[in-house]
């Protein structure tokens, strides 16, 4: 019923077939008014009928009594005057259709009618006579036919009788004497047919008019109530579209002012929510697009700007320049004054680079001490001039820390954006190559990229690798291998390093040295790191039940830590495959450990709290600063294979390894030697104090992690026996 009424008033369904609150309230209001009006009209009609019947009954009783008195003399004598009075009485009341008198046996005697065409009166039936006689002396001494269902006409039959009492003496008459007897003498009957059609119709016409007026008032009241409710509830309707826009992410939505306090408070709360969400989104957008230390664009946002500029260059045909900037000898500031001082210098360099370019140019921090600049709408001469300006400003910049003055210079690699050079990964690679050329030429200078035949061949190969790596990432075409790492003293396998391989189209396996440099240059390294994490966790879940206590070591590049989702991804992946974090060792390079920015440190701390262990990979080939081993918290130090390959013939390598093992032992770290190829090297490593070994002699990379014991040297056996 509500739906039909709502449809009549134009109600529309909301999204998903749900009813609208405003239309629902209006429908209920209209339905309530209709129900109340219907009950009122019905009550008025049936109440009027009841009143009419009650009035008709009273009139009928009064007229019956008068007709009884007027007609009684006619049974005793033929009184013409009584007949005249009786006829005059009937004519006086047009509602009396007919009056008839009957004898005691029910025979019709005479009748009077207000109509000339009245039909003859029939004699009374025996049952009617019996019923009429029984009412003599009752409170209502008559029979009535008619009622609520037909209040327009009544049939009344009343006995006509006389009452007398016995004579009790003329002067001593006492009406209270119970011994007196009342004598009743039946004279006949009087029948009255009453017709109230004219009066009834006139009265009902008035009632119908009143009902019509009431109905008009109810409709007017409903329409006015609908309008008043719609106006009162319009503030709720006005919230519908803004809330939809807010749910879609439009935080600039405007709310109409509300007149009512409750709705006004809701509007105020929604506006505050939209403002808070807008501020949060702006903050998240800034964090997603900007470097947290310098406030400059980060690598991801810079690549977006570079792609936009490539499209503009393609469309308009002008040229632009890409700068890759690397600070010279930045590590000495960190060595001398610590990471906080290095961070302050990085911020200062970012500010200086921003002041050195035009307003439309883009400056970004790529990570560590590397920056990138996009110089728009310039040729080679303009690019050289901009680079020289940057170099001059950097030369004149002095940084003071702990009363020490540092002059940090930079090397700049420049490549041009032109019609035949429009791939962002290739452009970054070219600028990086030019920067390395500038460093090789003596640092503190710029170098413009000029491709040679060898460079072009290498670029073509890089592009081929990029396509192959992209396909491998998307289609899960990498493969994992597991190389055991054994304890030198016991010869037992402690854990396995997870290695990545790529199978070429001819079915050969390619080592990571062949394709990872291209992956780094083309920005695919982070995706490969995430692939490694997931598939290593999957392998742990697959092989751990049959292996027993399986422990894996996973290599992560610096690019992985540039992704803010690294920690959450590792935690979610380990939980998905039920990996114990304490069974996972994450390997990072020495360069990342030393130059890691603050957000990388936070990620490492979070993963350590999660339960993961960390290994410092390739130690000895980079900065080789033993002071860092006292500051950095690692569980393992992996000695680079360059010290192990010629260990037997190189006393310097032997002393270096012994020194690393001693410092690691003092710092509570286990040392691992890579590239162990023979038993003699393993035995010498044992004598030098190294804890673990990895290499082909210990075990080759295999598809499934397996335990493989290695021989124990005599000195190790003696040391073990003496400890027992």
* Highest mean pLDDT of the ranges 140-144, 299-303, 590-594: 299-303
Q: Are 134 and 158 contacting, i.e. CB atoms less than 8 angstroms apart?
A: no
In this predicted structure, what is the pLDDT of residue 168? 53
**pLDDT confidence of 235, banded at 50, 70, 90?**
low
Give the mean model confidence (pLDDT) for residues 398-405. 73
* Placement of tokens 């290095």 in the chain: 342
In this predicted structure, what is the pLDDT of residue 46? 73
Task: Give the lowest-confidence range in 52-61, 299-308, 668-677.
Answer: 52-61
Task: Give the lowest-confidence range in 140-149, 688-697, 713-722.
Answer: 713-722
Task: Give the lowest-confidence range in 98-112, 358-372, 493-507.
Answer: 98-112
Per residue in 281-291, pLDDT (tens digit) is 666 666 677 88
What DSSP state is assigned to residue 415? E
Which residues 6+ apart lie within 8 Å of 3 measured at CB? 11, 27
Q: Measuring CA to CA, how many Å separate 697 from each of 360, 485, 488, 554, 644?
A: 58, 11, 12, 21, 13
Task: Give the lowest-confidence range in 70-74, 456-460, 658-662, 715-719.
Answer: 715-719
In this predicted structure, what is the pLDDT of residue 703? 92
Q: Is residue 542 predicted with pLDDT exceeding 90?
A: yes
Give the mean model confidence (pLDDT) for residues 298-321. 88
Between 250 and 667, whose confidence is greater? 667
In this predicted structure, what is the pLDDT of residue 713? 60
Q: Is residue 627 predicted with pLDDT exceeding 60?
A: no
Give the mean model confidence (pLDDT) for residues 266-279. 73
Q: Is residue 629 predicted with pLDDT exceeding 90?
A: no
Between 702 and 548, whose confidence is greater? 702
Q: Is residue 172 predicted with pLDDT exceeding 60?
A: no
Between 63 and 414, whose confidence is greater? 414
The secondary structure of the chain in percent helix, strand, coil, rounded to multiples of 5, reads 55, 20, 30
Task: Give the lowest-confidence range in 313-327, 459-473, 706-720.
Answer: 706-720
Q: Is residue 705 predicted with pLDDT exceeding 80?
A: yes
Cα angle 203-195-140, degrees, rounded to a multiple of 5: 100
369 is catalytic: yes
Give the mean model confidence (pLDDT) for residues 462-477. 78
409 closest CA partner among 398, 422, 419, 424 = 398
Task: Dig out the tokens for 300 from the structure.
Answer: 């991801």
Buried b (16+ CB within 10 A) or exposed e, 241-267: ebeeebeeeebebebeebeeeebeebb
Per residue in 320-349, pLDDT (tens digit) is 999 999 987 676 676 667 778 888 888 999
Residue 148 CA to residue 381 CA, distance in Å, equals 113
In this predicted structure, what is the pLDDT of residue 497? 95
Q: Is residue 6 predicted with pLDDT exceeding 50?
A: no
Q: Which residues pair with 182 in a beta bridge?
A: 165
Is residue 317 classed as helix, strand or coil in its secondary structure? coil
**pLDDT confidence of 26, banded at 50, 70, 90?**
low
* Placement of tokens 């598939």 in the chain: 535
In this predicted structure, what is the pLDDT of residue 175? 58
- Point out the catalytic residue in the list 97, 291, 326, 369: 369
**pLDDT confidence of 623, banded at 50, 70, 90?**
very low
**pLDDT confidence of 15, banded at 50, 70, 90?**
very low
Give the mean model confidence (pLDDT) for residues 445-464. 69
In this predicted structure, what is the pLDDT of residue 619? 78
What DSSP state is assigned to residue 290? B
User: What does pLDDT average to over the chain?
Assistant: 78
Per residue in 196-216, pLDDT (tens digit) is 776 667 767 777 777 788 778
Between 196 and 550, whose confidence is greater? 550
Give the mean model confidence (pLDDT) for residues 668-696. 92
What DSSP state is assigned to residue 178? T
Give the mean model confidence (pLDDT) for residues 454-473. 68
Percent of the chain with pLDDT over 90: 23
Between 358 and 105, whose confidence is greater? 358
Q: Is residue 8 predicted with pLDDT exceeding 60?
A: no
Give the mean model confidence (pLDDT) for residues 116-123. 74
In this predicted structure, what is the pLDDT of residue 605? 86
In this predicted structure, what is the pLDDT of residue 114? 75
Phi, psi of 571 (to 5 degrees): -65, -45
Q: Are 552 and 500 contacting, i.e. CB atoms less than 8 angstroms apart?
A: no
Q: Is residue 5 predicted with pLDDT exceeding 50?
A: no
In this predicted structure, what is the pLDDT of residue 176? 60
In this predicted structure, what is the pLDDT of residue 624? 45
Between 204 and 181, whose confidence is greater? 204
| Integer-rounded Cα radius of gyration of the chain | 56
In this predicted structure, what is the pLDDT of residue 723? 47
Between 584 and 51, whose confidence is greater? 584
In this predicted structure, what is the pLDDT of residue 93? 76
Task: Give the lowest-confidence range in 174-188, 312-326, 474-488, 504-518.
Answer: 174-188
* Highest mean pLDDT of the ranges 224-228, 424-428, 542-546: 542-546
Residue 466 CA to residue 469 CA, distance in Å, equals 5
Between 624 and 481, whose confidence is greater? 481
Q: Are 218 and 33 contacting, i.e. CB atoms less than 8 angstroms apart?
A: yes
């Amino acid at each position: 019923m509500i739906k039909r009424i709502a449809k009549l008033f134009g109600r529309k369904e909301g999204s998903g077939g749900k009813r609208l609150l405003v239309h629902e309230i209006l429908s209920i209001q209209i339905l309530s008014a209709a129900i109340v009006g219907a009950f009122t009209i019905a009550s008025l009609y049936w109440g009027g009928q009841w009143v009419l019947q009650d009035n008709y009954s009273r009139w009928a009783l009064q007229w019956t009594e008068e007709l009884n008195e007027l007609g009684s003399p006619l049974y005793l004598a033929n009184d013409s005057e009584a007949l005249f009075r009786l006829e005059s009485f009937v004519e006086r009341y047009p509602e009396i259709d007919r009056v008839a008198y009957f004898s005691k046996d029910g025979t019709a005697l005479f009748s009077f009618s207000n109509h000339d065409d009245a039909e003859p009166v029939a004699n009374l039936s025996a049952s009617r006579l019996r019923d009429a006689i029984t009412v003599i002396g009752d409170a209502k001494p008559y029979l009535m036919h008619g009622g609520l269902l037909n209040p327009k006409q009544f049939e009344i039959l009343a006995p006509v009788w006389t009452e007398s009492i016995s004579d009790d003496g003329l002067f001593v008459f006492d009406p209270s004497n119970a011994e007196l007897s009342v004598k009743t003498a039946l004279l006949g009957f009087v029948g009255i047919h009453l017709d109230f059609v004219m009066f009834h119709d006139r009265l009902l016409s008035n009632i119908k008019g009143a009902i019509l007026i009431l109905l008009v008032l109810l409709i007017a009241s409903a329409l006015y109530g609908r309008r008043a409710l719609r106006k009162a509830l319009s503030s709720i309707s006005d919230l519908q579209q803004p809330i939809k826009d807010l749910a879609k992410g439009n935080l600039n939505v405007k709310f109409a002012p509300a007149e009512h306090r409750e709705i006004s408070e809701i509007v105020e709360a929604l506006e505050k929510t939209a403002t808070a969400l807008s501020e949060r989104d702006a903050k998240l957008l800034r964090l997603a697009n900007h470097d947290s230390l310098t406030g400059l664009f980060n690598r991801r946002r810079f690549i977006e700007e570079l792609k936009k500029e490539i499209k503009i260059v393609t469309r308009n045909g002008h040229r632009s320049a890409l700068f890759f900037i690397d600070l010279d000898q930045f590590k000495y500031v960190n060595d001398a004054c610590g990471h906080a001082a290095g961070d302050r210098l990085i911020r200062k360099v970012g500010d200086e680079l921003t002041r050195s370019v035009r307003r439309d140019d883009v400056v970004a921090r790529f990570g560590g001490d590397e920056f990138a600049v996009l110089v728009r709408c310039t040729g080679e001469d303009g690019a050289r001039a901009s680079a020289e300006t940057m170099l001059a400003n950097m030369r004149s910049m002095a940084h003071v820390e702990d009363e020490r003055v540092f002059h940090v210079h930079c090397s700049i690699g420049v490549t041009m954006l032109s019609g035949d050079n429009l791939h962002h990964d290739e452009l970054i690679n070219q600028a990086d190559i030019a920067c390395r050329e500038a460093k090789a030429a003596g640092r503190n200078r710029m170098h413009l990229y000029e491709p040679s035949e060898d460079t072009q061949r290498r670029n073509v190969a890089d592009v081929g690798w990029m396509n192959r790596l992209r396909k491998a990432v998307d289609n899960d075409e990498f493969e994992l291998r597991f190389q055991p790492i054994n304890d030198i003293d016991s010869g037992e396998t402690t854990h396995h390093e997870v290695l990545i391989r790529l199978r070429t189209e001819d079915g050969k396996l390619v080592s990571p040295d062949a394709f990872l440099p291209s992956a780094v240059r083309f920005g695919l390294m982070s995706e490969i790191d995430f692939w490694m994490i997931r598939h290593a966790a999957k392998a742990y879940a697959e092989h751990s039940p049959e292996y027993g206590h399986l422990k894996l070591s996973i290599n992560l590049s610096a690019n992985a830590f540039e992704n803010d989702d690294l920690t959450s991804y590792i935690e979610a992946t380990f939980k998905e495959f039920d990996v114990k974090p304490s069974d996972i060792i994450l390997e990072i390079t020495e360069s990342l450990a030393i130059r890691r920015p603050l957000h990388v440190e936070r990620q490492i701390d979070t993963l350590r709290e999660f339960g993961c262990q960390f290994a410092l990979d390739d130690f000895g080939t980079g900065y080789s600063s033993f002071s860092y081993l006292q500051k950095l918290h690692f569980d393992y130090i992996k000695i680079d294979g360059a010290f192990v390959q010629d260990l037997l013939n190189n006393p310097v390598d032997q002393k270096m390894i012994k020194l690393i093992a001693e410092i690691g032992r003092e710092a509570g770290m286990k040392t691992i030697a890579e590239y162990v190829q023979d038993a003699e090297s393993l035995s010498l490593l044992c004598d030098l104090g190294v804890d673990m070994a990895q290499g082909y002699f210990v075990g080759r990379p295999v598809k499934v992690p397996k335990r493989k014991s290695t021989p124990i040297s005599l000195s190790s056996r003696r040391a073990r026996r003496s400890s027992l």
